[in-house]
Amino acid sequence: MAFENNEKAEGYWRENLRLVLGLLAIWAAVSYGCGILLVDVLNEIHLMGFKLGFWFAQQGSIYVFVALIFIYVKKANALDEKYNVHED
């Protein structure tokens, strides 16, 4: 990966870091918020026979994490294209 100049490299990593921190904030909100803080409210709703709060604590946050990986791949590829450092 070769950048045209130092400013483009700094811009690329600044945007990449913002993307990663944003996605991690979403994951933390889902796993901590839905799995711990809102568990009592979510337990009033049932999903396939399980309480929704329990489901988020056990599986939901993992599914969200996997979805965020795919979102990161798509956005990182777009970022690579924007800064012309994509692989051919």
Q: 3-51 pLDDT, tens per residue?
A: 778 888 899 999 999 999 999 999 999 888 888 888 899 899 988 888 8
Q: Compare 56 and 77 and report the one with higher pLDDT.
A: 77
Bridge partners for 47 per DSSP:
50
Banded model confidence at residue 1, pLDDT cuts 50, 70, 90:
low
Q: Could you give the CA distance from residue 36 to residue 86 in angstroms, rounded to a whole number?
A: 40
Residue 6, number of CB atoms within 10 A of its CB: 8
Q: Looking at residue 76, what is its pLDDT?
A: 95
Q: How far apart are CA 22 and CA 37, in angstroms?
A: 20
Average pLDDT over residues 67-81: 96
